[in-house]
Structure 1
Amino acid sequence: MIDSSNHKGARMIVKKNMGKATKKAKSQKTVKSAGEGRSRAPSYVSFPAFDLSRENVGLYLTAVKPSEIFEFTRVSRVDEDAEHGFQRALESHRVKRIAEYIGDGNVVPGAIIISAQDSGDIHFKDGAIHFPRQEGMFLVIDGQHRLYGSVRAERDGMDIMIPVCILTNLDHTEEVQYFIDINGNQKGVSRTLRIELTKFLVASESIDAIRLKLFEELNSDDESPLSGHLSATKRSVGYISHVPFKAALDRILDKDPLKKLPFDKKKKLLINFLGGVQENLIEVDQAKRLYQSAFFQAIFKVFEKSCEIALMYHRNYSQEAFSSIFKFIQDLNFESFSGSNDEAVNNLAKEISLMLEVSLTTANVAEELI
C-alpha cells in the first residue's frame, strides 16, 4: 500500500526546493559579465532545475512556460536538411490536437527532450540551469509536436508549464541514437525513416552505408530511372521507400557482380539494369510498375541471372543488353498479380523467372563465345 502522507510530504519538499531555486533563478534571470562596460557579454537565462546527470552526460529537468524555452530551440528535420536532419516533418493537425488537448484541461504527460548545442556555455548552480540568451541553443530530440502544441495552447490563453529535459555533452551521432532509442519502438516512426536515420550510425564501407548512398544518388541522378521516385521518410504511391529498396538490394550487394565493383560501377550497373526494364514497361504503358513495391522487389530476384545472360549473350552490362533480355516483360499479365506482401512478391518473381527462362530458348549466344 502506498503511504499517501509520504507522497504529500515529498511533493511539499519538492515544491519548497523548487520555490527556493525559482527565487535564486529569478534574481539571476539576466547574468552579465562584470566587465560589461568594456565589452558586452551575452545575457543569460536561468531556470530552476534538478541535476540528474550521469557520468559524461548532463541531464537537467526543469518546468517552464512553453514560450520561455521555445525561442531557444530548433528542430532538425529530414525533409528540410537531408544531410543532418533526423526528425519527422511537423504535422499541423497533430499540433492542433495537442493544443486542444491542453485546452481541455489536460497536462503534457511527457518531457520535451532537448540537447544543448554548445555545452560549454551551460552551467548548473544553486539549483538552477543557466545558458546564453541565444537562438537555436537547443536541438529538439523528442517532443516537437508537444512543444509546438503547447506554444499554441499558451498563445490561445492557457496558463501552462511543461516539463523539459535538457541533455548536454552529446555529439550528433548520440543525438540521433537517443531519438531512435526513444521512438524506435513507438507507433508512428515509419520503418523507412528508421532506415534513413541509420546513415548516421553505420560504418562507411558497410552494406548499409553503400545501400543508403545508392538510394540517395539513384534518386538525385537525372540518368537514373528512379530519379525523383524514392522516398526517404514515408510510403507513398508512385515512390519506392527504403523498405522495399533494402529488401531488393541487400541480397545482391554482397554477391557478384556488384560485390567486386567500385561504387560508381555499382551505380551504373543498377541504372542500366533498371533502364532496360523501364524501356519495356514503357512499351506497354506500364512505366508506373517500376515504382510499385512488389514489382520492384520481384525484378531484382532475377538480377544475378540477368547479369549472367547479359555477359553470355551480349558481352556487356549495357542498358541495351538488359532491354533485350527483358523484352518478355511486355507479355507479362500484370493484372494477375496484386498485393505487396512477401507472398505477392514471391509469386510475381516466380512468373518473371519462368518467363526469363523461356525467353532464352529463342536467344542467340554472342558470336565471340563460339
Structure 2
Amino acid sequence: MQKKLVCNTLKVQWRTAKLLIFAQNLTMGTIMAKESYSAVLITQGEHRFYQLAMPSDVLSSCTFVSTRDEDPDKGFQRLLDKKRAKEIATYIDSGHGTIPTSIILSAQEICGLEYDSRNKTISFEVLSGSFLILDGQHRVFGFKLAETKIRVPVIIYDGLSRRDESRLFIDINSKQRGVPSELLLDIKKQADYENSEEQLFREVFDKMNGDPNSPLFGRLSPSKRVKSKISRVTFNAALKSIYPALTSRTPGEIQEILSEYLASVRDQIIRNGGDENILLNSITFRAIVSFFIHAARRVKDRFGPEYTIDNFDVVLGPLFDNIQIAKLSGTSQSKILDYLEKHFKGEFQL
C-alpha cells in the first residue's frame, strides 16, 4: 500500500515537472500551439501556394522582413516607411478601411507548415520567424499598429529557397503596375476624397482644358501621361508653388489670369525665336508657373490688379529679350527659376 502511494506521488511529481517544463518552454517560445485555417491549394508553373484568410493580429505576430540594410547578403526588401504604415493603421481604424489585396508570404521551416488535403486546411506554429514577407510589409505593419483586428487575405508559398524568394520578390514587384497618379487625381472628385487645394486645382485645370481661348487648350491630359501634354499631376505640382497667392480668387479668375500670363510667355518665346512647345516640358512648365508670382507682382506695381496679356508683355518683354530661350529647357526647375529671377532683377552677370 505504501509502495503504491509512493509510486502515485512520484507520478504526480513527474507530471507536475513536465507541466512546468512545458510552461517554461511555452514562455520562451519554443512550444506553440498550432493555428489552423481553411485554405485552397493552387499550383502555378513550378510553384504551389495556399490561399487563405488570417487574423491580422496572428499575421503580424508570425511574419518578418529581411532588408538589404540589415542583411546585405540575403535581404532584398526595402526599408519600412513607418509613416505609410501609420496611414494604413488609421485607415483601418476609421471603420471604412478595406484592403483586399493579398499579403504574400514564404513559409520558413521553423513554422512546421502542414496541409490537410482531406479537410482543406493548413496548420503552422505562430512564431516570430514563421513567414518571410515577400509583398505587403507596410500593410502588415499597419495591421499591427491598428487597434481594429480584421481578417486578411494571404498567399503562402511553401518550400522556397532563398534564391526562389528573391526571384519571386523581383517578379512580384516588376510585373505588377500601380494605378497612375494622374488617374487617381482625376477620380478623386467621384470618391469625395479631394481636399480644398486639390478641388481648386482640378477646377482651374478643367476650365483651361475646356476653354478654346486658353493657351493650354488641347494641351492638357486629365487622367494619364501623354507626350507633349501637361498632366494633371504636373499641373497640380506647378500651382502648388503659387497656391498662397491664389486663395482669394475664384477658379474662374485664376484660370483667366494664368491664361493671360502663359499666353504672354508663349508669345515672348515665339518672338525671340523659340519653340512654344517648350512650355509643355513638365520641368519648364513648373518653373514658368513658379515665376508667375514675380511677374504678377511687377504687373500689380505698375498697373494695379489688371493681369492682362498686354500688361504681362510690358513686364516680361525686357526679360525675354535678354535671356537664352534654350536655357528654359534644362533638367532642374530650381535652376530655370533662378535664371529667370536673376535676369528679372537685373542682377545677372556674364
TM-score range, shorter chain: 0.3 to 0.5
Larger radius of gyration: 2
TM-score by length of 2: 0.46
